[in-house]
Amino acid sequence: MTQSVIKDLRIAITSFQIECGHFPGQSEQSQASDTRLLSTGPLIDCLLGQNTAWNRKEIKFVDLMTARDGKFGYVPAEGSNPCRLVDLWGNPYVILLDTNGDGKVQNPDIRNADPAIAHSETSPAPEFLPVEIAIHSFGKDGIEGTADDVVSWRSTPESSVMLVPMWLLVIVLILLLLIILIVRRMRASPAK
């Protein structure tokens, strides 16, 4: 589920970049370094078409579901707290943008506490990712740079685990429909 929000967010930012010629919050010129943003305040307002300083055309680039109990979705601004888009565990997403125009962003995996991710002998984490947008969630433990982070640039446990329950759900739904059809036919047939 978090992966789908990451994809939606990446598509919205890409669409903004195509429409406006630069990333949200970036001047129209390249910056000296890449930008790291959280999915809070001005960025989310911008993608929703509500931040006229960043999105002068007020185009809505994304639809966000409302969070429940402050988790997994859009949390509106309240008092001095800005709005935010949060993951399944109530944490904002981290967005890395290639605002210096070199076609890559720093790879957070090089600082990952899990040696299998950061320092794997077979495929160590590269220093840079060859992407303009990289997005990640801190995962269940709420700590950046650990094995449970959900990221846009590599397959994650969440993305592979979520496929099994979806298939099971489809199978269960088909079986339930078959049972309903059989019961209806039995009721419709006259008793002998």
132-179 residue pLDDT tens: 999 999 999 999 999 999 999 986 444 444 444 566 677 888 898 899
Percent of the chain with pLDDT over 90: 68
pLDDT at position 133 is 97
Letter for the amino acid at 48?
Answer: L
32-61 pLDDT, tens digit per residue, is: 899 999 999 999 999 999 988 999 999 999
**What are the domain boundaries of the chain?**
2-158
Q: What does the mean pLDDT of the chain come to?
A: 89
| Burial of 87 per CB tally in 10 Å (0-12, 13-18, 19+) | buried
147, 151, 154, 155 alpha-carbon torsion, rounded to 10°: 70
Q: Return the half-sphere exposure (C-beta side, CA atoms, 13 A cut-off) of residue 34.
A: 21
pTM (2 decimals)?
0.78
pLDDT at position 191 is 64
Q: Which residue is listed with tokens 């669409």?
A: 15
Average confidence (pLDDT) over 112-118: 89
pLDDT at position 105 is 97
Q: Which residue is listed with tokens 């962003």?
A: 105
Structure tokens at 79: 């008092």
pLDDT at position 158 is 46
177-188 pLDDT, tens digit per residue, is: 899 889 888 888
90 vs 120 pLDDT, higher one:
90
pLDDT at position 168 is 67
Q: Residues in the chain, how many?
A: 192
pLDDT at position 165 is 57
Q: Which residue is listed with tokens 């269940």?
A: 140
